[in-house]
Amino acid sequence: MAMADCLELAGTYGIAPARTPILFAGGTAALSHMIGAVEDDPELARADLAAAALGPSDAVICVSASGRTPYTLVVAEGAQAAGASVIGIANVVGSPLLERADIAIALETGAELVSGSTRMAAGSAQKIALNMISTQIGLLLGHVHDGYMVNLTADNTKLRARATGMVAAIAGTPPEVAARALDLADGAVKPAVLIATGASPELAQDLLAASGGHLAAALDRLKLKLEAAKAQSI
């Protein structure tokens, strides 16, 4: 569940994959064929932690249905030792992961309909919680504007069409103007919106830098600049 949510962060919110590494017991080899023993291997967890090179500015979301998976517990312990914050998500109240976590999220889903099949109730609850966390991250980082995921970069045909529609809707311009703005912005939606509204590519980048990447604030500043320029020309 955590891996599925993490993989969506780049496409939905434009967050670089390097900023959201996935520590998965067994690595990519375990994705096509689940290997149970790897989640009991503390050395594997320590090796994955070392590769991640975590520090005090990082946060780690550790997920375990039982809250006592050895791999997950070692990752949580090692992350805290490196100064990172640990968010623990588990489905058993009072479990070791929740006791250790800096922020504990208990999803008490009870016994599974099919005993031991934690992909069902536990996994579904985890997915909902993770969706809420990642969506809030996107909102707080300014990657969502009026319900649009404006931090994506249009790098294929589907995303190009979606981005053109977003720019046209937010800037209130025809699709051809939005498409041209996207060209000038190298496919990035936020600067394209500002360009379509009347900014130069350089000014668009300056406005976004000044607003911390929040499009609403950048648009407000641009509109003030355009109004001031119009007033001076009268």
Distances (CA, A) of 130 to 12, 19, 63, 98, 133: 14, 17, 10, 16, 5
Pair 201, 195: CB distance under 8 Å: yes
Residue 62 sits at φ, ψ, to 5 deg, of -100, 125
* Phi and psi based region of residue 147 (left: phi greater than 0; alpha: psi -120 to 50; beta: remaining): left
Instruction: Select which of 8, 43, 112, 176 is catalytic.
Output: 8
CA distance 20 to 45: 17
Annotation marks residue 8 as catalytic: yes
DSSP H or E segment with residue 105:
strand 103-106
* Phi and psi based region of residue 72 (left: phi greater than 0; alpha: psi -120 to 50; beta: remaining): alpha
Annotation marks residue 39 as catalytic: yes
Paired sense of beta strands 144-145 and 148-149, if any: antiparallel
Instruction: Select which of 39, 108, 176, 227 is catalytic.
Output: 39
Would you please indicate which residues are annotated as catalytic (active-site) residues? 8, 39
